Amino acid sequence: MIEDQILGIDVGASGIKGAIVNIKTGELVTERFRVPTPFPAKPKAVAKSISEVVNHFDWKGLIGVGFPAVIQNGVAKTAANIDKKWIGTNVEKLLSEATGCPVYVRNDADVAGIAELQFGAGKGKKGTVILITIGSGLGSAVFTDGVLLPNSELGHLKFKGMIAEHYAADSIRKKLELSWNDWGKRFNEYLQHLELLLSPDLILLGGGSSKKFSKYEDLLKVNCPVLPAKLLNHAGIIGAACLASLNKKKTLTS
pLDDT tens for 115-136 read 999 999 999 999 999 999 998 8
Measuring CA to CA, how many Å separate 201 from each of 26, 125, 222? 24, 9, 11
Q: What percent of the chain has a predicted confidence (pLDDT) above 90? A: 89
Structure pTM?
Answer: 0.92
Compute the distance between CA of residue 157 and CA of residue 165 in angstroms, rounded to an integer: 8
Averaged pLDDT for residues 182-194? 98
pLDDT at 189 over 80: yes
148 with 101, same domain: the answer is no
The CATH number linked to 221 is 3.30.420.40
Q: What is the pLDDT of residue 82?
A: 83
Domain identity same for 221 and 151: yes
Buried b (16+ CB within 10 A) or exposed e, 147-162: ebeebbbbbbbebeee
* Mean pLDDT of the 90-105 span: 97
Task: Report whether 74 contacts 90 (CB < 8 A).
Answer: yes
pLDDT exceeds 90 at position 251: no
* Cα-trace Rg, the chain: 18
Residue 6 domain flag = yes
Average pLDDT over residues 154-172: 96
Query: Is 210 a residue whose pLDDT tops 90?
Result: no
Residues spanned by the domain of 149 = 124-229
Considering the domain architecture, whether residues 85 and 175 belong to the same structural domain is answered as no
> Distance (Å, rounded) from C-alpha 226 to C-alpha 75?
33
Please report whether residue 174 resides in a domain: yes
Structural domain count of the chain: 2
pLDDT of residue 26: 95
